Amino acid sequence: MRTMLTATQTRVAAMLVLVLASAACSKNDKPDPKPSKLMSPLESYASVKDVQGDLKIKGDAWEVIEDRKPLVSDTRPLFQTYTVALPTYFHRGVQGKLVLHFYNDRLMRTQFYPHDIDAYRSALEREDKLSFNDQQETFIDPATKVWIGKDDKGAKYVGWVDKNLKAEMDDWIKKYS
């Protein structure tokens, strides 16, 4: 006994196959994010807990600058920011203030405010093999931008940001805020 599909059934079946194939492809279009080196020993995408372990600090050792969580009633995709500071931190033999920025419990940016910016820059060039261009920036594969800047109070710092994670946060802001 032979069963024939109607034209409508054939079209519905074809559309179903296309939808399923499209959904499968879209899940694989985005590669898994790869951590990128930030301020040594830290890498992007590390959780708050992992960073505390990497830096060998207790949670109460840092000052919380921002802790933004969505309301329970918020139906948008997750958007959390958490920014903390270690007022006294030594990196590459230079004392300063370390600021860590997390997006959805993933380390996205680090900023170090050294007491001596020139000594710190020299240490980074020597120990981390960084070479800053005329715009006072450099890049580390796969996705880190490093720069020397000034904050709104005029304090000099060295910043590291994972450009992919920052773009993800910026996309969320464009779509949902």
**Residues 118-172: tens digit of each pLDDT:** 999 999 999 999 999 999 999 999 999 999 999 999 999 999 999 999 999 999 9
Across residues 34-62, what is the average pLDDT?
92
pTM (predicted TM-score):
0.81
Say if residue 65's pLDDT is above 50.
Answer: yes
In a 3-state reduction of DSSP, which class is residue 8? helix
Asked whether the beta carbons of 110 and 42 are under 8 A apart, the reply is yes
As a whole number of angstroms, the distance between CA 26 and CA 137 comes to 35
| Residue 103 confidence class, pLDDT cut points 50, 70, 90 | very high
What kind and span of H or E run contains 127?
Answer: helix 117-127
Say if residue 8's pLDDT is above 70.
Answer: no
Phi, psi of 85 (to 5 degrees): -135, 140
Report the pLDDT value the prediction gives residue 156, as an integer from 0 to 100: 97
